[in-house]
């Protein structure tokens, strides 16, 4: 009788514990939302807030016209997904690390540069390895300066446009890179060779994460790559099989294979780096949902773009050319009705919808919202 009573009590404790755990998972862990003091972003033009513009030729008008009212270093008429993520976390927009004028790094820095890839060759010299090296130098020099000021008695308070050293391990580290590796491969090799290159790409990405982990990074938010076969420039220049939404099927299949292997790599990193928290974010599904439901969402044909031209003559957004008496390059009058801004990059209107799809965690593994990315269900 006594043994039965003990067993009953133990079962009761287990059940109550399970109920409590499930309840904690329902409300984001019962630990309240995470407070990330900063974001450090690594990527390409999908999240570049001024790196390429600072390093090379400045991005010109009409880029930025919808939100900023002037060019703001973004290949977009307004804000990018990373901007909406910053807003959601109540942080300022990220300054580009390469921008020497007016930059504020107190709440993070953006190492993303348009055209960047995980490995070289690519469309930019600022590959992921360079971006990680830039971060490590940034962290080292910031910490050294902080110690110098501290020694002189100037802190606290520490008034600067640089982060506090203790903020680095508390920050969110975001990745949005890999699209250009695939695109460059499509342009210069075969699809078979692109597929074969994926394991090496992800090994390099894994090494980058290990380096950040060794620097104290613990919270990682990793975007997969989008549906490359749905970009207007892909549709224009490729005449392969189309899927039900009109996208180039073979390109999307390779993007999905990249994403499948990326998800597996993130799972491996969870085992290798036990003190880190990884959120794998299915941006592919978010973007494809917007493209495949363009009409219902109030957009024009998703393969029409607002600025620049790819029809027989490539003209960058902000430039014009006359070909056989026809003027190409004039921007559209209503960017908010377009999913694609310039044939490669998304409009602010599309970026807003994509961001709304991903910040709530419904497309993430594990399914936690971004404000809960510091305490996953497995740690509750």
Stronger pLDDT, 162 or 285, i.e. the higher one:
285
CA distance 48 to 41: 9
Q: Which residues are annotated as catalytic?
A: 45, 342, 345
User: What six digits make up the tokens of 73?
Assistant: 């270093």
Q: What is the mean pLDDT of residues 30-44?
A: 89
Asked if residues 357 and 84 have their Cβ atoms less than 8 Å apart, the reply is no
User: The pTM is what?
Assistant: 0.89
Between strands 39-43 and 172-176, the pairing is parallel
Stronger pLDDT, 315 or 30, i.e. the higher one:
315
Residues 6 or more apart whose Cβ sits within 8 Å of residue 90? none
- Residue 159 has what pLDDT? 56
User: What six digits make up the tokens of 84?
Assistant: 């909406």
Closest CA to 39 of 114, 117, 95: 95
Does 37-295+348-374 carry CATH code 3.10.350? no
User: What six digits make up the tokens of 274?
Assistant: 């036990």
User: Up-side HSE of residue 261: CA atoms within 13 Å toward CB?
Assistant: 18
Stronger pLDDT, 34 or 313, i.e. the higher one:
34
Stronger pLDDT, 152 or 228, i.e. the higher one:
228
- Residue 311 has what pLDDT? 72
pLDDT value at 140 more than 80: yes
- Please tell me the least confidently modeled range out of 117-121, 156-160, 189-193: 156-160
The DSSP 8-state label assigned to residue 301 in this structure reads: -
pLDDT value at 54 more than 60: yes
CA distance 167 to 374: 14
């Amino acid at each position: 009788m006594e043994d039965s009573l003990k067993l009953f009590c133990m079962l009761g404790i287990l059940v109550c514990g399970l109920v409590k755990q499930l309840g904690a998972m329902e409300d984001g862990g019962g630990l309240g939302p995470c407070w990330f003091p900063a974001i450090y972003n690594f990527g390409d033009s999908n999240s570049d807030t001024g790196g390429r513009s600072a390093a090379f030729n400045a991005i010109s008008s009409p880029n930025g016209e919808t939100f900023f009212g002037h060019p703001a270093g973004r290949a977009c008429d307004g804000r990018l997904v990373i901007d909406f993520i910053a807003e959601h976390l109540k942080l300022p927009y990220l300054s580009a690390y390469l921008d020497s004028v007016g930059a504020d790094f107190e709440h993070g820095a953006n190492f993303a540069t348009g055209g960047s890839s995980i490995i070289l060759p690519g469309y930019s010299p600022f590959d992921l390895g360079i971006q990680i090296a830039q971060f490590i130098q940034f962290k080292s020099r910031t910490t050294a300066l902080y110690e110098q000021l501290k020694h002189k008695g100037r802190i606290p308070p520490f008034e600067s446009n640089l982060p506090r050293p203790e903020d680095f391990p508390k920050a969110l580290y975001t990745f949005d890179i890999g699209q250009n590796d695939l695109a460059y491969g499509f342009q210069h090799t075969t699809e078979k060779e692109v597929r074969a290159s994926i394991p090496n790409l992800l090994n390099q990405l894994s090494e980058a994460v290990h380096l950040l982990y060794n620097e104290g990074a613990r919270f990682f938010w990793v975007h997969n790559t989008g549906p490359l076969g749905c970009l207007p420039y892909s549709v224009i220049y490729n005449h392969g099989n189309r899927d039900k939404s009109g996208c180039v099927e073979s390109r999307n299949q390779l993007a999905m294979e990249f994403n499948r292997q990326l998800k597996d790599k993130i799972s491996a990193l969870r085992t290798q780096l036990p003190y880190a928290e990884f959120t794998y974010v299915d941006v592919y599904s978010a973007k494809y949902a917007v493209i495949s439901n363009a009409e219902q969402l109030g957009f024009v044909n998703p393969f029409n773009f607002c600025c620049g031209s790819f029809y027989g003559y490539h003209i960058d957004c902000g430039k014009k050319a006359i070909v056989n008496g026809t003027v190409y390059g004039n921007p559209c009058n209503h960017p908010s009705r377009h999913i694609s801004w310039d044939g490669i990059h998304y409009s602010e209107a599309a970026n807003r919808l994509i961001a709304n799809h991903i910040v709530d965690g419904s497309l993430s593994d594990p399914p936690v919202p971004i404000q809960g990315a510091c305490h996953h269900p497995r740690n509750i």
